[in-house]
Amino acid sequence: MNTVRQRIIEQSRRLPKGALLAPRTFLHLGSRTAVDQAFSRMARTGELVRVGRGRYVRPRQTRFGARMPSPSELVEAVAQATGEVVVSGGAAAAHGLGLTTQVPVRAVYLTSGATRELKLGSQTVELRNAPAWKLWGAGTREGEVLRALEWIGKGAVGHQVAERAVESLGPEERERLMVACASAPSWLSRIITGALFPAEREGATLGNA
């Protein structure tokens, strides 16, 4: 007869790569005590890795050994498990768009859920609660542009940087970004609209001269 541990392993293998595992979702396989003990043993042996309170992931076995999920795979699993909106932080967005050569030291993500930290071995993945406007456009280039420019900051982001950020956006992406400006802080809205419509911005500047 299969043990609780074996049944947990068998079911976890059917889940997507990097999926979060929680003892409470395996209670149909045994008593709470038996399931908790199985998770505890598997964490000690390295079959599972504890990433947060009551949350585990199963390393994927490769020919080079056990491979942990990447931070992006982990936060995607968090979003699927909790229903939260989770997006890359502004520093990662700015680096991805080529607006800075500074490589983010920490893996920081913005979330509609609570602020907390997850552990991937020695690496810390930080989830920071953020207002809805910062979470806008999850998984889109225009959303990354908004978060990147906000991260660079008021007084630091100029029109040239903003124009570089939006230059790769298509017409529909630009339209969606323009609509999102209604919810963004006024300074950020001005920077973005100026980058989207540089000719109008320059005309207004000349008119005020």
Domains of the chain: 4-67 (1.10.10), 71-208 (no CATH)
**Helix count (H) and strand count (E) of the chain?**
9, 8
φ/ψ of residue 4, rounded to 5: -60, -45
pLDDT at residue 198, as a whole number: 82
pLDDT at residue 63, as a whole number: 76
**75-95: average pLDDT:** 94
pLDDT tops 80 at residue 201 = no
**140-146: average pLDDT:** 97
φ/ψ of residue 69, rounded to 5: -60, 150
**131-147: average pLDDT:** 96
**106-121: average pLDDT:** 94
pLDDT tops 60 at residue 36 = yes
pLDDT at residue 202, as a whole number: 54
**Across the chain, what does the average pLDDT equal?**
89
Prediction pTM value: 0.82
Q: What percent of the chain has pLDDT over 70?
A: 94
How would you classify the pairing of strands 107-111 and 123-129? parallel
127 contact partners, CB below 8 Å, separation of at least 6: 75, 78, 86, 109, 110, 111, 113, 114, 115, 116, 117, 118
pLDDT at residue 206, as a whole number: 38
**81-102: average pLDDT:** 94
